[in-house]
Amino acid sequence: AAAAAAGPFSLREVLDAFRRCVTEQREVLLEPYLSGWRGLIRFLQSLGAVFSFISKDAVAKVALLEAQHRQHRFVSLQSLVQHELAAGPAALRARPDSGCRTVLRLHRALRWLQLFLEGLRSGEPRTSVLCTDAYNASLAQHHPWVVRKAATVAFCALPSRDAFLEIMNVGSADEAVAMLGEAIPYIGDVYGITQELFAEHKLLDLP
Ligand code: 1Q0
């Protein structure tokens, strides 16, 4: 994993990580989940300094979860939730550094990713429009005005659709689009299972 993290971004790596996430028992494994996120963050970092306020936040959240993963040896999101809920829902809500609230933020961002990738696949050439639409339908409702404003400004600096397909590093534009089609259901699956898990435990509004 350390060696893989060094090279240029490849969408295949991210796809593989999210594919590895879901077990037969419909658990979401933490290690490939975080590995998928590390790949996405690397991609975001390659887009330049305009996005660093976003990547910094994502890096901090992944680091928090990595630390908890090392400390408690959680295998899955399910075991993390179970462990933190054992202290009681009120105690969990009071913690600004819980794994659950941190996962919830990444989880909402995963919905953004799913929508954005669907948009890229659809052929719409204006990535900033795609990105803004995906953001407004997902993360935006959880962000204060100032963050929404900064995000919307950053989206204007996004590369073109063709450039996006190229940085995915999977060959021609057609091949990149095909791989998006392969990746989106895996990401959707991880999103759906996590959404159900958090809904079941009433954790979808953790402060
Ligand atoms: C490609 C453009 C990337 C656009 C990412 C969209 C997300 C915008 C988010 C902007 C807000 C970030 C600033 C911090 C916000 C936090 O306040 C917020 C809440 O946390 P807290 O602790 O204050 O309650 N944090 C979040 O909502 C988490 C945001 C994480 C965003 C992670 C985005 C990772 C994106 C990776 C780039 C993927 C590129 C996709 C194309 C791949 C195809 C090859």
Within a domain: residue 27?
yes
Within a domain: residue 2?
no
pLDDT confidence of residue 6: 57
CA pair distance 163, 17, nearest whole angstrom: 23
Largest interatomic CA distance in the chain: 51
Within a domain: residue 205?
no
Task: Give the closest residue to 18 by CA, choosing from 77, 69, 70.
Answer: 77
Within a domain: residue 4?
no
pLDDT digits (tens, 9 = 90+) for 164-205: 999 888 899 999 999 999 999 999 999 999 999 999 999 999
Identify the CATH number of the domain in which residue 28 sits.
1.10.3520.10
Task: Give the closest residue to 177 by CA, choosing from 185, 190, 168, 189.
Answer: 168
CA pair distance 49, 61, nearest whole angstrom: 19
Q: For residue 180, how many other CB atoms are within 10 A of its CB?
A: 22
**What ipTM is given for this predicted complex?**
0.97
- Is residue 57 in contact with ligand 1, taking CB distance under 6 Å? yes
Within a domain: residue 38?
yes
Within a domain: residue 3?
no
Within a domain: residue 66?
yes
Euclidean distance between the first and final Cα of the chain, in Å?
Answer: 32
Q: Are 92 and 85 in contact (CB under 8 A)?
A: yes
Domain that includes residue 75, residue range: 11-200
Below-50 pLDDT ranges, the chain: 1-4
Tally of residues, the chain: 207
Within a domain: residue 1?
no
- Which of 97, 129, 139 to mutate for ligand 1's pocket (most ligand atoms within 8 Å of CB)? 139
- Which of 18, 46, 54, 162 to mutate for ligand 1's pocket (most ligand atoms within 8 Å of CB)? 54
- The set of residues, in sequence order, having a beta carbon less than 8 Å from that of 13 and lying 6+ positions away, is 4, 39
pLDDT confidence of residue 1: 41
- How many domains, the chain? 1
Atom 24 in ligand 1: residue holding the nearest Cα: 105
Q: Ligand 1 centre from 201 Cα, in Å?
A: 24
